[in-house]
Amino acid sequence: MAKTGTTTQGLRAAIERSGYYPTLVAEAVQAAVGGEAVVSYLVHQETTFDANEVRRHVTVLVLTGTRFIVSHTDEQAADATSPSPYATTSTESVKLGRISSVVLSRVVANPESYTPGQLPREVVLTIGWGAVARLDLEPAACGDPNCEADHGYTGSSTADDLSLRVSEAGDGPDSVRETLAFAQALSEATAATSSTR
């Protein structure tokens, strides 16, 4: 379930509607937002299956005039460290100027008959700000098939701080629309921030 909007009250209501530990999630998000006005937000709940357990996870993304805030809350079953089930929640606040990429991947059915404004069946929103990067390395080689020299390694580094997948089949068409709207608001905010530097 994804919900997007532009007010602090709307953000609180979306967290409440998600039904996922709303008091805990809202308190963590509000503490991170502080007194800033909410420009846009997205609340996305996921349910995953881990062996014989069903686990829930909620991600709240908030855009203010100066920051991008991401909050994750997960529930955990009782384990060796805790005799009762528990939840962990974390928030990260990133200055808009630190966001290096906003990638929106769209999956469209029947692309030959695509029309402007048609809703993708799935979107993946990936946001990078340099906190986490994936490094893919492989041995480098030259064009000589008989060469036995060590050419070192070659590879690529990919920003991979946050990736959020939303599908029409799993989350509903409104969730896809809301993710598109948040991605556009964040892209516009980061573009405006980079032009003022």
Whether 120 is in a domain gets the answer no
Q: How far apart (Å, rounded) are the C-alpha atoms in residues 61 and 164?
A: 10
How confident is the model over 4-25, as pLDDT tens digits? 556 888 899 999 998 889 999 9
Its domain, for residue 42, covers: 1-103+160-195
How do residues 134-153 score in pLDDT, each as one tens digit? Answer: 666 777 788 788 888 887 87
**Domain count of the fold of the chain:** 1
Residue 111 lies in a domain: no
Does 55 map to a domain?
yes
At residue 34, φ and ψ (nearest 5 deg) are: 65, -135
Which tens digit of pLDDT belongs to each residue from 70-120?
A: 999 998 878 888 889 889 999 999 999 999 999 999 999 999 999 999 999
Confidence of residue 154 (pLDDT cuts 50, 70, 90): confident
Tell me the pairing of strands 122-128 and 162-167: antiparallel
